[in-house]
Chains A and B, each alone.
Chain A
Amino acid sequence: MASIKKDLDDLIEAGVIDWETGDKIRNYYQKQPQNPNRILLAFGILAAVLIGLGIILIIGHNWDNFTVSVKTGIAFLPLLASLLLVGYTILKESESQVWREVGGICLFFGVAAAIAMIGQIYHVEGAERSFIRTWLLLAIPITYVLPSSAVSLLTFLGLMGLGASSGAGWHTSIKPLVPYDQLFIFLLALPHYIYICRSAPKKNFTLVHHWIVTWVFCMMLIPRLFGNGGIGILSILVALSLLYGIGTSEYFKDARIRWNPPLLVGSIGTVLTLFFASFIQYWKFADGHTSFNFSITHDYIMIFLFLGALYFLIRSFKTDNFSELNPLSYCFLLFIPIYLLGIYSPVFAMIATNLLLGGIGLYYIIFGNKKQRLALLNFGMFIISALILARFFEIDLSFVARGICFVVIGLMFFGANYFLINKSKLS
């Protein structure tokens, strides 16, 4: 506020704005809710996280010179102290966000400290996965009881840890293991995320949640979907289309692109997936390995994702003109026949995928030109160029032909950007 006041004085003095306008601006800022606790909140959260992690590390030392009963007593100290802190917060400071977030984080790590130390004392079996699962299940109520967005964020980060501890990588098993525990905890944590999306859409906590939740969604589902033989790529496309649909929904409509991770991940992910399927090798591989005998649970997940993507597509049909509808929103529907026919004819599927991706690239070039947005135009150019280059490398051509291809693409990029910049200058 102080800097705005100084700027206003300077602007009035220089005659850029008059006194009346200056007063209006000053009154506007004075009426805005002040948030003096923001720095305290940030440092409080940082301190609580550091203290929590510090306690976990101190426990990790394993104090074997204490007796089992002393160690057991110590194990409960951080938990009981944090419970008292949270109890006090509910009783006296339930309106203070600083108290709620700090208390919540302390209890989050207090729970971890207790079960880690008991696990250590009694050599409790089970790898990191079972430990993190128990921890998150016990900690999730904190998010709702206080409520605490920091604990919600830590829970989603914990879900990322849970995924990593299960080795959720790119594996080749025909029947994927569905991460029930991850899905269950994700669903338990989701209501708070939806609540802050509605009640505080512009707050930093909500914006950071968008990225973390999108990331957890992808990391939780995509490796598992991919693992299911050939059908994987279709499932991934459906999952990414759902993300894209969420990104184009009413809620994210006016959001800045960097705070719209569903749209970013959905669109870039879809393009990359289609690019992967534009190679003939993929279809030859899929042809021999496709298995439709996937598990019932996977079926349900796939149907749920499909219905979600379809819902957002129908919504955008109602609001947008068909001619302006981004092909990314319905490409999953077009890909289904391509995929099914690809089992019998890999060449057809490869050509069709190339045409589909080419169409998406063309859409972005036309749309970017129409709206005079360089980023969209270049995204389209990038898709088309990547397709051309990939095909040129796939087909055995001479160095001269490849060289000419590179030069032409370079000239295309330069020409299109030059044209659009000139056009926007003129308009």
Chain B
Amino acid sequence: MIKNKKLKWLLFTAMAVAQIAVPVWMILSKENVIREGKTYKFELQAIDPYDPFRGKYIILEPKENSFTIKTAEQPKQRHMYATFDEDSLGFALIKNLFAEEPDHNDYLKVEIRGMLQKGNTLPVDVIYPFDRYYMNEYRAKAAEDLSRSVARDSSRISYAEVSILKGSSTLRGVFVDGTPIEELISESVEK
């Protein structure tokens, strides 16, 4: 093993820098997307699983998750790059799917869930990277119940606010009719 003290300290310093730098880099990259990126609202539904390390979360399933491309544009890799528009209510709609990165900043890297050729067209189902919203362990279940009742009630809408920049995303919050989900759950617990 390493006997040289100087080398040991050098390695320790390099290790400590890496161990601190990685979480710092995670923060900076997420903050950069919030600062520089464009924010979209994705209408969604939610369920409630569990992560052994990072606590409880709700899985986000945006309703807008499919787009039809031409068969000739079928990608070779398992991911594509999505650009977005907004509908009349301000919710995100996929504008286009590209196999290569577009030459502007406003796009998101998405995984391909599946493709099923229909003649010359190819509907592509996508999976977004912002799939988890971590919540307090006592509130995740209430959030799930709330999202189910919202899904049954056509007059209410739940959505995720997501900033997008050069393929990356930062999930900023989950809202029901414009109110953050944490506030709604706190209100219902107080009642």
Task: Give chain A's interface residues, CB within 8 Å of chain B.
Answer: 56, 59-64, 72, 75-76, 79-80, 83, 86-87, 90, 94, 107, 110-112, 114-126, 128, 131, 134, 138, 141-142, 144-145, 147, 195
Contact = CB atoms under 8 A, between A and B. Distances in A.
Interface stretch (B22-30, B62-70, B80-88, B92-100): B22-30
Contacts of B9: 90
A123 B171 contact: yes
Given A62-B137, A123-B132, A83 B16 contact: yes
Nearest to B162: A123
B131 A125 contact: yes
Nearest to B170: A122
B53 A60 contact: yes
B134 A115 contact: no
Contact of B55 (A61, A138, A145): A61
27 contacts: A60-B51, A60-B54, A60-B137, A61-B137, A62-B134, A64-B135, A76-B20, A76-B23, A80-B20, A87-B16, A90-B12, A94-B8, A107-B19, A110-B19, A111-B19, A112-B53, A114-B19, A117-B54, A122-B27, A123-B57, A123-B132, A123-B170, A125-B132, A131-B54, A142-B15, A145-B11, A195-B1
A83 B55 CA distance: 24
Contacts, number: 109
B-side interface mostly:
mixed
Contacts of B27: 72, 118, 122
Given A126-B129, A141-B15, 4 more contacts: A60-B51, A62-B55, A118-B26, A125-B132
B129 A125 contact: yes
Contacts of B117: none
Contacts of B106: none
Given A123-B130, A142-B15, A145-B2, A60 B55 contact: yes
Interface string B117-153: 0000000000001111111110100000000000000
B169 interface: yes
B19, B26, B139 pick with most chain A CB within 10 angstroms: B19
Contacts of A63: 136
A141 B169 CA distance: 30
Contacts of B14: 141
Nearest to A61: B137
Contacts of B22: 115, 134, 138
Contact of A144 (B11, B30, B139, B182): B11
A123 B56 CA distance: 11
A119 B54 contact: yes
Interface of B: 1-2, 8-9, 11-12, 14-16, 18-20, 22-23, 26-27, 30, 51-57, 129-137, 139, 169-171, 182
Contact of B136 (A62, A80, A87, A116): A62
A124 B26 contact: yes
B144 to A, nearest CB: 15
Nearest to A122: B30
B175 to A, nearest CB: 14
B19 A60 contact: no
A144 B8 CA distance: 9
B133 A123 contact: yes
A210 to B, nearest CB: 19
Nearest to A196: B1
A138 B18 contact: yes
A383 B122 CA distance: 55
B58 to A, nearest CB: 10
A142 B16 CA distance: 10
Given A134-B22, A145-B15, A125 B130 contact: yes
Contacts of B131: 125
A62 B23 CA distance: 17
B136 A61 contact: yes
A145 B12 contact: yes
A62 B12 contact: no
Given A64-B139, A122-B170, A123-B133, A141 B23 contact: no
Given A122-B27, A144-B1, A128 B15 contact: no
